[in-house]
A = this chain, B = another copy of it.
């Protein structure tokens, strides 16, 4: 059992067979020990890959992306869900359904921040049905940049996102893959990697 699986067992909470709550250390309160170790582990798993930029999506992907970008010494770009008065540039746009917010989000990256030919590492906290990851890939493709890999902290292995992305040939690294959860016993079963 790795550091993240152990943390999920200790501090995660299961609400039904589909909802794992990790907001005590990952996506509301952020545990810096875990965050540093997640960044180190992504660095190890993508060793040898050239990375020009890290792309994530607001809000909970930002912490992991920034810690990893600090190691690579490359910029982070985070896709936004809501245009603001400052969003005046032309944009690459895509759509992703959010299961936790139960709504469709338009997401975008302003065109100056993804350039043709750049090697992009996509980072997020969760991978479930792959909606966010697919939207980010779509945006990278629109920019004619290249996805070098997709790193997620926690993959819900029961949902189809990881399978689809791997079948498409993407290098997906998930630090913990959940195969099933039991609400009554509060047990999580991880996939062996």
A interface residues with partner B (beta carbon < 8 Å):
15, 19, 21, 23-24, 27-32, 35-36, 58-60, 62-63, 66-67, 69-70, 73-78, 80, 82, 84-88, 98-102, 109-110, 112-113
User: Could you say which of B24, B67, B86, B100 contacts A23, with CB atoms under 8 Å apart?
Assistant: B86
Taken together as a complex, chains A and B put the C-alpha atoms of A7 and B84 apart, in Å, by 22
Do B32 and A74 have beta carbons less than 8 Å apart? yes
Neighbour of A30 across the interface among B32, B69, B100, CB < 8 A = B69
Interchain CB contact under 8 A, A77 and B112: no
Q: Which residues of B contact A59 (CB under 8 A)?
A: 58-59, 62, 78, 80
Which 7 A-B pairs have CB atoms at the shortest separation, nearest pair first?
A58-B59, A84-B100, A59-B59, A30-B76, A29-B113, A62-B62, A63-B66
Residue of B nearest to A62 (CB): B62
Inter-chain contact B113/A21, CB cutoff 8 Å: no
Q: What are 20 inter-chain pairs, A to B, with CB distance below 8 A?
A: A15-B85, A21-B88, A23-B86, A29-B76, A29-B112, A30-B69, A31-B75, A32-B66, A32-B74, A35-B70, A58-B58, A59-B62, A59-B78, A62-B62, A62-B63, A62-B66, A84-B100, A84-B101, A85-B102, A86-B100
**Which residues of chain B are within 8 angstroms of A21 by Cβ–Cβ distance?**
86, 88
Interface pair A75/B32, CB less than 8 Å apart: yes
